[in-house]
Amino acid sequence: MPPKKLESMVAFFLPAAVREHVLGDLQERYRSPSQYAFDGLRTVPMVVVGRILRTAKPRRLALEGASILLAYYAGSVFGGGEGIRVWLAAAITLTALVVRDAYTAIECRVRPVTAFEAAVTGWLIQLGFGILPAKTALLGASISAALLLMVRLSGESRAPRAVTGSLDEVPERARRFEKTVRGRNLREYAGVGMVLLMFGFAASRAKDWTQFAPPLLMCAGALLTGWLLRKYGTPLRLPPSLEGIDLLRFYRTEVERQRRLLSTVWRWYLGPLIPGFLAIFIGQMARRPDWKTAVPAFFLFLLMTSAVIWLNRREARHLKREIESLDAIERDLLVR
C-alpha cells in the first residue's frame, strides 16, 4: 500500500475525471514509496495534458481567448495599462480557464461556473505580480467573467438536435424549445442590463459631450437590441389544448421564427451596438491617439462580431435540421 500522504499528494494533482482509475492503476503498480513517487511524477503531467487536449476545443478556445482579450482591453481603456501587459493578463486568464476545465470537466462537458473561477484566478495572479493597474485588473476580470459566462451559456443553450423522431416526441421537444428560448432571452436581457449599468455609469461621469455621447449610444443600442429581441424573439406559449399535427405545425412555426431571427443577428443584435462601439473608438482616438492599442482592439472587435454571427448562424443551421425533421414526421403522417 502506498503511504497515505504520498497518495493524497498524487490525488491532489490529478483531474477529477481520472482520479479514481489512475490512483487505482498506480496502486496496482506499487512496489516502494520512491517507485510510486517516480511513477506519479511521470504520469500526472501526461494525464493533465491528455485532459487538456480532451476538454479544450479549438473554436471555443479562440472565442473565449478573444472575449478575455476584449475584456482586458475594455478594462485598460478605463483603468490604463500597456498593450503587452493586457495580452499577458489575458493569456494568464485563458491558461487558468484551460487548466481549470481540465481539472473539473466531467467527460468533455465544461462547466459555465469555471469561467468565473478562471477570471478570479487570473485576477489574483495579476495582483500578485502587479501586471496591470489594480483598477484595470478588476475591470478586466469582471468583464471577462461576464463574457465567458455568456459564451459558455450560449454554447449550452442548444436547440434539440433530433433529426428524426415521431409525433409522440413533438410535445416534449416543443416544451424544451420554449424553455431554451426563454432562458436565452433572460440571459440577453441580463446582458442588456449589464451594458446599461456599465455605460450608464460611464455616462454619469462624463465631463463633456465627447465623453457622454459614446456610452449614451451604447445604452441606446442595448435598449434597441433588447426591444427588438422582445418584439421578434419572445416565444409564444404552447397552448395546452393543442395536440397532434396542429401542435407540430405550431412548433414548426416557432422554430422557423427563431431560425430567421438567428440568421439575421447582424441586423437586430449587432447593428444597434455598432454606432456606440465606433463612437468609443473615435472618442478614444480623439482624446489620446494610441494606434498600438486601437488597431488590435479594432481587429478584436471585428473578430468578436464575426464570432457572434458565426455562432448564431450555426444555431440557425441546427434549427433548420429540426424543421426538416418536423417536415419528415408530417410527411410520414400524411402518407399513412
Partner 1 sequence: MAKADSIGQLEQLVLTAILRLGDDAYGVSIHSTVEELTKPRAVSLGAIYVTLDRLESKGMLTSRLTDPTPERGGRAKRCYRLEALGERALKESAVTAKRMWDMIGSALGGRKWVKEY
168 binds partner 1 (CB under 8 A): no
Stretch that binds partner 1, among 35-43, 86-94, 167-175, 295-303 (CB under 8 A): 35-43
Please identify, using beta-carbon distances, which residue of 53 and 334 lies nearer to partner 1.
53
In this structure, what is the dihedral angle of CA atoms 247, 252, 255, 257, given to the nearest 10 degrees? -110
> What minimum distance in Å lies between the beta carbon of 110 and partner 1?
14
Q: Which is nearer to partner 1, 18 or 66 (CB)?
A: 18
Tell which residue, 101, 97, 74, 72, has the closest CA to residue 84. 72
- Under the criterion CB under 8 A, does residue 45 sit at the interface with partner 1? yes
**CB–CB of 277/303 below 8 Å?**
no
Secondary structure tally for the chain: helices H, strands E: 13, 0
> Minimum distance between the CB of residue 17 and partner 1, rounded to whole angstroms?
10
Instruction: Assess 10 for contact with partner 1 (CB under 8 A).
Output: no
Q: Tell me the window of 15-23, 142-150, 172-180, 292-300 that interacts with partner 1 (CB under 8 A).
A: 15-23
Q: How far apart are the first and last CA of the chain?
A: 67
* Residue 39 or 256 with smaller CB distance to partner 1: 39
The reply on whether position 18 binds partner 1 by CB under 8 A is yes
Contact partners, residue 270, CB within 8 Å, separation at least 6: 305, 308, 309
User: Under the criterion CB under 8 A, does residue 39 sit at the interface with partner 1?
Assistant: yes
Residue 327 to residue 324: CA distance in whole angstroms: 5
If one asks whether residue 24 binds partner 1 (CB under 8 A), the answer comes out as yes
What span, in angstroms and rounded, lies between the C-alpha atoms of 83 and 63?
20
Cell of 20: 479514481
Q: Where on the chain is the footprint of partner 1 (CB under 8 A)?
A: 1, 7, 18, 20-29, 39, 42-47, 49-51, 53-54, 108
